[in-house]
Amino acid sequence: MKKINIGIFGGTGYTGGELCRLLLNHPEVQEILPTSRKDLDFNRYYQALSGSGINFITSEDLEKRVHEGDVDVIFLSLPSGEAMKLAPMALDAGVKVVDLGADFRFKNPNLYEQIYGKKHECPDLCREAVYGITELKREEIKKARLIANPGCYVMNAMLGLVPLLNKGLIHLDHIPVFGIHGMSGADNKPERDIMYTEVEGNIMSYQQIHRHNWEIEDQIKQLSGQKAVVNFTPTYGSFSRGTIIWCNPFVKESAKKTSREEFLRLYSKYYKNEFFIRINQFPKTKSESQKEYDIYPQIKNVRGTNFCDIGLDYDTERGIIKIITVTDNLIKGAAGSAIQNMNLMFGFDEKEGLKSYGL
């Protein structure tokens, strides 16, 4: 199979930069074409990638190359509402599409319009798009031409909850989900509230009624067929990259006597064939009154990787399972999972371009 050419609409954002960096190490990629709305020097803008041979091009030039059949796949790393304007053009030209934004995450376009306040311009594509959590939709992704990559919070939450959802072990009427996100999730546009002097030493609450609340609920319904009520709380932490999520659902009566070790075995069995999912199975070695840190996953261990680390504990007295998931929000939570999905779409090894371990 010939090597592929890749277009990136939105090449100047954090996710666009990560796509370029990761794709440079992909053996099946020939040309990487990121766009910029301004006349920028790629080597100057991304000095860590200086000398890579990549150059910015205009959106118009990339669209022209798509029409000419010179691009095999495009990544859309754009604000909400913009991907839906470009996806039909690429699909009509026979080009595969991976959207890293929200435009195609909801099968029901009315739900998108309710949450984002914008009329959806191509509702038929909402119904066609495959939601791109690779580990949960692998076979559908292989056949897809349009992928809706999930939000990083949703990626973490769903990977943490699915083994329990699959067995029907938790109550869905109230699922508390709390997340802390690195500041790269706030975008790279200058704004006083996200300047270093405002963020350093701080934890910042924002959008306490967050759009990802609906996205998590929608995915639970898609996978379980049941309605869930999720209480999602997002927060920014004073670090650049990484996402940590705590999901604390109540277990059903039938599962209340399950031990932490049994829950960990359940997770290990569910994800036993998943290279990018690592279950923290270290046993407790201290008494309940002593702190143990290494039995839970930590952001520092996944920085710069496509791994999702999962750990848990179980409050037997209250019947609450406490699931912790960590990812690098720019990789497994965005660019990395998008490339993982691209690999499946083209029949490549799923791990290509993504085999790095932690920094």
Strands 96-99 and 73-76 turn out to be parallel
Give pLDDT, residue 178. 96
What is the mean predicted confidence (pLDDT) over 56-72?
97
pLDDT at residue 76 tops 80: yes
| CATH fold for the domain made of 153-329 | Dihydrodipicolinate Reductase; domain 2 (3.30.360)
Give pLDDT, residue 242. 95
Write out pLDDT tens, residues 127-186.
999 999 999 999 999 999 999 999 899 999 999 999 999 999 999 999 999 999 988 766
User: Which of 60-64, 222-226, 321-325 comes out lowest in average pLDDT?
Assistant: 222-226
The torsion defined by the Cα of 77, 43, 59 and 187, in degrees rounded to 10, comes to 30
Confidence of residue 289 (pLDDT cuts 50, 70, 90): confident
Please confirm, yes or no, whether 152 is among the known catalytic residues. Answer: yes
| Token couple for 86 | 């470009």
Q: Which long-range contacts (CB under 8 A, 24 or more apart) does 284-293 make?
A: 284/260
Distance, in Å, from the CA atom of 231 to the CA atom of 177, rounded to the nearest integer, reads: 6
The model scores a pTM over 0.75 = yes
Give pLDDT, residue 344. 98
Give pLDDT, residue 239. 83
Give pLDDT, residue 186. 65
Q: Are 323 and 312 within 8 A, CB to CB?
A: yes
Percentage of the chain surpassing pLDDT 70? 98
| Token couple for 62 | 């990339």
Q: Boundaries of CATH 3.40.50.720 in the chain?
A: 4-128
| Token couple for 152 | 């990083």
Handedness of CA 214, 80, 86, 142 (dihedral sign): negative
Handedness of CA 189, 200, 332, 121 (dihedral sign): negative
Percentage of the chain surpassing pLDDT 90? 83
Query: Which value, in Å, is the radius of gyration of the alpha carbons in the chain?
Result: 20
Give pLDDT, residue 26. 97
Q: Which residue has the higher pLDDT, 343 or 187?
A: 343
Give pLDDT, residue 212. 83
Tell me the residue type at 109: P
pLDDT at residue 93 tops 90: yes
CATH code for the domain defined by 4-128: 3.40.50.720
67 CB-contact burial (10 Å; exposed 0-12 / middle 13-18 / buried 19+): middle
What is the mean predicted confidence (pLDDT) over 112-123?
92
DSSP state of 149: P
Count CB-CB contacts under 10 A for residue 61.
Answer: 13
What is the mean predicted confidence (pLDDT) over 30-59?
96
Write out pLDDT tens, residues 192-240.
777 777 778 888 887 787 788 999 999 999 999 999 999 999 998 888 8
Give pLDDT, residue 190. 67
Q: Boundaries of CATH 3.30.360.10 in the chain?
A: 153-329
> 126, 152, 247, 308: which one is catalytic?
152
| Token couple for 161 | 């909850």
Mean pLDDT score of the chain: 94
